[in-house]
A and B are shown apart, each in its own frame.
Chain A
Amino acid sequence: MTEHMTAEDVVELCRKLGADDAVAQLFVGNTTQVKFANSAIAITQNWSEASLNVFVACRKRIASVMLEDLDHLVVRSSIERLLKIAKSSQPNKDWAGLARGPFNYTKPKDTFDKNLVDTDKATDWVNAAIAATSAPKAAGVLYLRDTGHVLATSEGVHAEDRGTSAELSIRAFFEKDESGHAVSASCTKAGFDPEAAGRKAGELAKAARKPQPGQAGKFDIIFDPLAFADLLSVVASSASAYNVDAGYSFLAGKLGKPVANPSVTLLDDPTAAGGLGSIPFDDEGRPTQRTSIIENGSLRTYLHNTSTAKKFNSTTTASAGLIAPQPRNVILQPGSASKDALFKQVKDGIYVSNIWYTRFQNYRTGDFSTIPRDGLFIIRNGELWRSVKGLRITDNLQRILENIAVLSSKPETMLWWGMEYQVPVTTPYVLVKGVNITKPTM
């Protein structure tokens, strides 16, 4: 890993210096980004990076270090310091150790594609996406990632993974306030369709012609997958047992209780084939698993590592984060309605194609607001009737989940800059009844 030490060497050094538990994670990656604005490339950025995360526990005193300086002497002195910090800390009463390995792993299918490694296609893909918008102006970003990950622990774990991804986010513009946004993201070249994203962004922008100020009130809303993915990233993050404990979750105290419409099953599934967040192991090295966070509308479990599972008298969901369990690949199970059928169910409502800036009055109650951006449309009798602007969704996150009425049948995977939590989310179109909409009073 570093010029002189493997992940196992680091763990061994931690043990020699007095650690009861130790984890070493090495990340090595190459990333290319093409950022474009005004339909032209603004900059191309390239990252060649390596980093090392080390975590130790000494008599339940826990400490961690993140190193982006892998000089041998720096690594060694940092580990010595890490142990010194851990020993001088106070016990964490919730620390319950690491998963005991070794484990066998199954790499999720379709999470690495050599066609995305060292490709010189980035500019071509960007230009194809821009052209597909048929719009006078487009902006966005393309990322091509190739990331390797090695993990070793003091409980006999050795795990390795390598993944690739292509992620395009594109926003098309016609005149003032007329925009549309779309995403194509995949671990494989075959699943990546930059032109489709460009086309959708362009079509939304074109349909958003001459938006007029909208009205406040309660409306049935169809959320585009891009918009609903943002809300689901918050829901999934709220399921982390750490966030429940810390006051950052509206799901606190609701295990086993209904928190959503019975049609809702929300998964975190890092084993899913082709999942942008799929990975064979969590940060303790435990093989990942498919977890139902919400099943048929009821809160089934929080996301756990070994320690939070013990604290909550539960079982781990293989979601470590050594400090905070985390979702990795969020999936809202689709329904059976076609997209067209879903729209036809709305006599008088709103289609929200994108949102951003989701903020809470109170994380515990779930009271929040978020702002639609890009194409925002009044739906009349199942058709896009006219384009509107200047509205805000001001509601409660649990009530949104409870009022889900229809899920479309074809989910799409979303990951882009504007998502509140940077976790990939796969979701269909979603119809939510009676959503509270506000607008500026002056």
Chain B
Amino acid sequence: MLDLANKVLKLAATADWAEVRIEKAEGNSVILKNGNPDAAGFDRSLGIAIRVLVKGGMGIAFTNRLDQASLQAAAEKALKTAKAASRGLRKPVVLAPQKAQTADYSADCKVRPADIDSSEKLALLMDIDNALLSTKVKLPARMLQIDDSTREQWLVNSEGTSIHSTIPRLCFTYLLTAERDGDTEQRMRELGATGGWELVKQWKLEQQLTEEAKLLARILTAPRAVDGVTDIIIGPEITGIAAHESVGHPQEADRILGREAAQAGEAYLNADDMGLKIGSPVVNVVDDPTVRGSYGWYRYDDEGVQAQRRPLITAGKVVGFLQDRRSASHWGIHSNGSCRASAWDREPIVRMSTTQVVPGDQSIEELLEGVKRGIWIKTYMEWNIDDKRFNQRYVGLEAWNVVNGEPTTLVRRPALELTTPAFWSAVDAVGNDLGWATGHCGKGDPMQGVPVWFGGPSMRLRNIRLGLRPEAKA
């Protein structure tokens, strides 16, 4: 494939700069719905992306027709459209300088997920489903799904970069619906990682899901949260989603420069906001694709730039943006390796990988001790944020009243609805209980869902006014 990539690169030799990315991918999926096996499925793809720069215009052609004529046509299409785009450009596309890289790497993987028979995966799901039924919790809807993918990529460019990589990933997804007297609560969650099938055992899925089911049954009996001002402790799952949504996204350089303005949106931050204070001094946030086993793990990004830990917020202040080569040229700096494409037929753009609040040194007990009256929100269902990443909302699923430092009773659906600076400025203590959540982050046009982790420790937020809640409807 490397030979093919280099051969195609020559087809685009008249470009000022050219890059060829070949991706061979396979995926497998097994779904169990309410104890009934849905179609076991798999996918295979092999395709090529040719990205070129001509006189400051950028063009890309994608094809999975790999005969000589189709490759030639694709290269010509990329060149032609890049030339067309260069005409009348206000500002030519410039890529930040990058040393040529050569690498051949793969993720740690003892047992290839693709080698596990689908019947074994189905048996795993059926065992989980039987365990759920044995809880005696009324669960009228149970969706269980296990997916794996292996992405092998060859990346070459006209500057001499040549990288071959193989990355296997696993993801388990579930939606549980618990019912009591016509009332329902739901829990949806993904568990993902980069690596082999051996990771599945570590997830202890039967134990986790049966505990979730029993908890949903208890939540159904809990009273609704009341509005008012209170101290809040959030668990790692909510810390993580807040870091992803309201720190990672607004610090994507392409958003700041307006390139996603009509889709995922812009950012409340401006290009010259480096150093701006948005949180309390205990808040530190990084994005780090090198976290071993993380779902967004890679060693080189999809432009061939080495992966690295990227500080975003340090002591409450903005210290960095996520950059690809195109955006980095705006600031006259180097890319920090944040460029990813979700598939062979997608444009590489600025993306997060593993975004986290850096843990502090307090235990969860110490965080709780500091709360006379408050709410400890451990998980969530509903969340969203505006397209500038300024107005965010998280509605708790597992949430506990806290009285004099002790969790007492469950409380239902407390809503945090805060501006980004208000959220991060309210943090007065950061725990040491680092935890991770899995997601598929959506961005780009056509949409690209890329695998990510987000996480951090529990955090304590002082004097938070809970959001107004809508009237419930059965």
Contacting pair B473 A399 (CB below 8 A): yes
User: Is B422 at the interface (CB under 8 A from chain A)?
Assistant: yes
User: Is B180 at the interface (CB under 8 A from chain A)?
Assistant: no
Contacting pair A85 B466 (CB below 8 A): no
User: Is A323 at the interface (CB under 8 A from chain B)?
Assistant: yes
Contacting pair B382 A369 (CB below 8 A): yes
State the Cβ distance, A58 to closest chain B Cβ, in Å. 11
Contacts of B37 in A (CB 8 A): 61-62, 89-92
> B473 is contacted by which of A46, A50, A366 (Cβ under 8 Å)?
A366
Residues 317-350 of A at the B interface (beta carbon under 8 Å): 322-323
Residues 374-410 of A at the B interface (beta carbon under 8 Å): 390, 392, 394-396, 398-399
State the Cβ distance, B380 to closest chain A Cβ, in Å. 9
> A44 is contacted by which of B85, B184, B415 (Cβ under 8 Å)?
B85
State the Cβ distance, A372 to closest chain B Cβ, in Å. 8
Bound: A160/B64 CA distance, A: 22
Contacting pair A181 B465 (CB below 8 A): no
Contacting pair A442 B263 (CB below 8 A): no
Residues 32-71 of A at the B interface (beta carbon under 8 Å): 32-33, 35, 37-51, 55, 61-71
For B177, the closest partner residue in chain A by CB is: A247
Contacting pair A92 B36 (CB below 8 A): yes
State the Cβ distance, B262 to closest chain A Cβ, in Å. 4
Bound: A418/B65 CA distance, A: 30
State the Cβ distance, A3 to closest chain B Cβ, in Å. 8
Contacting pair A438 B44 (CB below 8 A): no
Contacting pair A440 B422 (CB below 8 A): yes
Contacting pair B60 A46 (CB below 8 A): yes
State the Cβ distance, A305 to closest chain B Cβ, in Å. 12
Bound: A93/B35 CA distance, A: 10
State the Cβ distance, B37 to closest chain A Cβ, in Å. 5
Q: How large is the interface on A (under 10, 10 to 19, 20 to 34, 35 or more residues)?
A: 35 or more
Contacts of A123 in B (CB 8 A): 84-85
Contacting pair A37 B119 (CB below 8 A): no
User: Is A141 at the interface (CB under 8 A from chain B)?
Assistant: yes
For B413, the closest partner residue in chain A by CB is: A361
User: Is A314 at the interface (CB under 8 A from chain B)?
Assistant: no
> A438 is contacted by which of B41, B57, B261, B417 (Cβ under 8 Å)?
B417
For A41, the closest partner residue in chain B by CB is: B85
With contacts A49-B62, A362-B186, A442-B418 known, is A371 near B261, CB below 8 A?
A: no
Contacting pair B33 A245 (CB below 8 A): yes
> B118 is contacted by which of A45, A46, A88, A358 (Cβ under 8 Å)?
A88
Contacting pair A438 B468 (CB below 8 A): yes
Contacts of B19 in A (CB 8 A): none
User: Is A441 at the interface (CB under 8 A from chain B)?
Assistant: yes
Contacts of A245 in B (CB 8 A): 33-34, 141
Contacts of B467 in A (CB 8 A): 394, 438, 441
For B470, the closest partner residue in chain A by CB is: A436
User: Is A297 at the interface (CB under 8 A from chain B)?
Assistant: no
User: Is A296 at the interface (CB under 8 A from chain B)?
Assistant: no
Contacting pair A140 B70 (CB below 8 A): no
Contacting pair B58 A42 (CB below 8 A): yes
Contacting pair B42 A65 (CB below 8 A): yes
State the Cβ distance, B304 to closest chain A Cβ, in Å. 19
State the Cβ distance, B175 to closest chain A Cβ, in Å. 6
State the Cβ distance, B417 to closest chain A Cβ, in Å. 5
The winner among A40, A245, A369, A442 for most chain B CB atoms within 10 A is A442
State the Cβ distance, A410 to closest chain B Cβ, in Å. 24
Contacting pair A63 B263 (CB below 8 A): no
With contacts A357-B384, A362-B185 known, is A440 near B417, CB below 8 A?
A: yes
User: Is B362 at the interface (CB under 8 A from chain A)?
Assistant: no
State the Cβ distance, B319 to closest chain A Cβ, in Å. 24
Interface 9-residue window, one of B74-82, B196-204, B427-435: B74-82
Bound: A48/B82 CA distance, A: 17
For A354, the closest partner residue in chain B by CB is: B387
The winner among A90, A248, A395, A441 for most chain B CB atoms within 10 A is A441
Bound: A173/B262 CA distance, A: 10
User: Is A300 at the interface (CB under 8 A from chain B)?
Assistant: no
User: Is B40 at the interface (CB under 8 A from chain A)?
Assistant: yes
With contacts A49-B64, A141-B445 known, is A360 near B381, CB below 8 A?
A: yes
Contacting pair B470 A394 (CB below 8 A): yes
User: Is A229 at the interface (CB under 8 A from chain B)?
Assistant: no
For A28, the closest partner residue in chain B by CB is: B65
Bound: A216/B469 CA distance, A: 11
Bound: A79/B271 CA distance, A: 52
Contacting pair B38 A48 (CB below 8 A): no
Interface string of A391-433 (1 = CB under 8 A from B): 0101110110000000000000000011000000000000000
Contacts of A177 in B (CB 8 A): 388
Contacts of A42 in B (CB 8 A): 58, 93, 259
Contacts of A85 in B (CB 8 A): 40, 42, 118-119
User: Is A169 at the interface (CB under 8 A from chain B)?
Assistant: yes
Bound: A41/B41 CA distance, A: 39
With contacts A69-B45, A399-B473 known, is A46 near B78, CB below 8 A?
A: yes
Bound: A398/B265 CA distance, A: 29
The SS class assigned to the A binding surface is strand
Contacting pair A41 B89 (CB below 8 A): yes
Contacting pair B39 A62 (CB below 8 A): yes
Bound: A372/B325 CA distance, A: 33
Contacts of A209 in B (CB 8 A): none
Contacts of B240 in A (CB 8 A): none
Contacts of B118 in A (CB 8 A): 63, 85, 88-89
State the Cβ distance, A325 to closest chain B Cβ, in Å. 13
Residues 444-474 of B at the A interface (beta carbon under 8 Å): 445-447, 464-474
For A246, the closest partner residue in chain B by CB is: B143
Contacting pair A93 B36 (CB below 8 A): yes
Residues 169-214 of B at the A interface (beta carbon under 8 Å): 175-177, 184-186
User: Is A364 at the interface (CB under 8 A from chain B)?
Assistant: yes
The winner among A33, A48, A89, A141 for most chain B CB atoms within 10 A is A48
Interface string of B344-361 (1 = CB under 8 A from A): 110100000000000000
User: Is A356 at the interface (CB under 8 A from chain B)?
Assistant: yes
Residues 393-430 of B at the A interface (beta carbon under 8 Å): 393, 395, 413, 415, 417-419, 422, 426
Bound: A359/B188 CA distance, A: 12
Contacts of B24 in A (CB 8 A): 69
Contacting pair A43 B418 (CB below 8 A): no
Bound: A268/B280 CA distance, A: 51
Contacting pair B46 A440 (CB below 8 A): no
Contacts of A51 in B (CB 8 A): 64
User: Is B73 at the interface (CB under 8 A from chain A)?
Assistant: yes
Contacts of A322 in B (CB 8 A): 39
> A247 is contacted by which of B89, B175, B417, B464 (Cβ under 8 Å)?
B175
Interface string of A301-326 (1 = CB under 8 A from B): 00000000000000000000011000
Contacts of A361 in B (CB 8 A): 381-382, 395, 413
State the Cβ distance, A124 to closest chain B Cβ, in Å. 11
> A169 is contacted by which of B262, B418, B447 (Cβ under 8 Å)?
B262
Q: Which 3 A-B pairs have the closest CB atoms?
A: A247-B141, A68-B45, A139-B261
Besides the known contacts A46-B74, A367-B473, A438-B417, 20 further A-B residue pairs in the complex with CB atoms under 8 A apart = A39-B90, A40-B90, A42-B93, A45-B347, A46-B59, A46-B62, A47-B61, A67-B45, A68-B46, A68-B344, A92-B37, A169-B262, A247-B142, A247-B186, A322-B39, A373-B265, A394-B467, A417-B263, A438-B468, A439-B391
27 A-B Cβ contacts within 8 A? Answer: A37-B257, A38-B259, A44-B84, A44-B85, A45-B60, A46-B61, A46-B62, A47-B62, A48-B62, A50-B64, A69-B64, A78-B42, A81-B42, A85-B40, A91-B37, A170-B262, A323-B39, A356-B387, A358-B384, A361-B413, A362-B184, A364-B141, A369-B382, A371-B386, A390-B386, A418-B263, A440-B419
Chain A residues close to B by CB (< 8 Å): 32-33, 35, 37-51, 55, 61-71, 74, 78, 81-82, 85-86, 88-94, 123, 137, 139-141, 169-171, 173, 177, 181, 216, 245-248, 322-323, 356-371, 373, 390, 392, 394-396, 398-399, 417-418, 436, 438-442
